[in-house]
Amino acid sequence: MNPDIVIENKDDKTFVNLKLYVRYMVSLRCKMIVRDELKKLEIKHSILPYGAIEFLDEITQKELNTLRRNLRKSGLDLLDVRESKLVERIINTIIEVIHYFDELPKLTYSEIISKNVDEANESVLKIFSEVVGMSLIQFIVTQKVERVKEILLYEDMSLPEISYILHYKSEQHLIAQFKKYTGLTPAFFSDLKKERQNIASRNSQN
């Protein structure tokens, strides 16, 4: 069945394969509150990264309204379908550009988002930050750092090459940003790769 299909009932709507984001769910305690409220309503669900709830069964608008009211008592805000789709598109656009392009496009991230997300204005970006718990720029940086980790662990590229494809100003800028966000140096992950290769080589010989 296609995602986000809406089945019309007599007095209500039933949503299938629905994913909604929660504003301000940015800590473990917040996630526990959301889980508790979902459990009270006996709603089958999965808590996903970046502040999303995936509803695993059909859910009615009435149940969503009840969940929304209950969450607001704890200062949390369940987004509607439209807002959730906008946040989802921003997240997916950034992840796709950073992780699945061989080289980042020459466009700015503002231009990339504008090309892929309708209504990507300041108010939507504010909602994004309140959902994800960081600014768009910080989210982009964290994704770039994750991409650097992947390259160091799984590909044979030098730091200057990585700096070039990910549009860092310099190798030194990459190292400084990487260390700031991970507490570790790129060399640490290069050493991890060598250790993993040695373990794999020994195991293949046994």
pLDDT digit string, tens, across residues 67-122: 999 999 999 999 999 999 999 999 999 999 999 988 888 767 778 887 777 777 88
Q: Which two tokens stand for residue 33?
A: 């509150």
Domain boundaries, the chain: 5-79, 134-206
| Cα–Cα distance, 32 to 120 (Å, whole number) | 30
So what's the pLDDT on residue 119? Answer: 72
Query: How many Cβ atoms from other residues are within 10 Å of residue 146's Cβ?
Result: 15
Rounded Cα distance between 137 and 114, Å, is: 15
pTM of this structure? 0.84
For domain 5-79, the CATH class is alpha beta
User: What's residue 104's pLDDT?
Assistant: 84
pLDDT of residue 133: 95
Q: CB-hemisphere CA count at 13 Å for 31? A: 14
Q: Which fold has domain 134-206?
A: Arc Repressor Mutant, subunit A (1.10.10)
Length of the chain equals 206
Low-confidence spans in the chain with pLDDT less than 70 = 1-11, 107, 206
Fold match flag (5-79 vs 134-206): no
- Confidence (pLDDT) at 89: 92
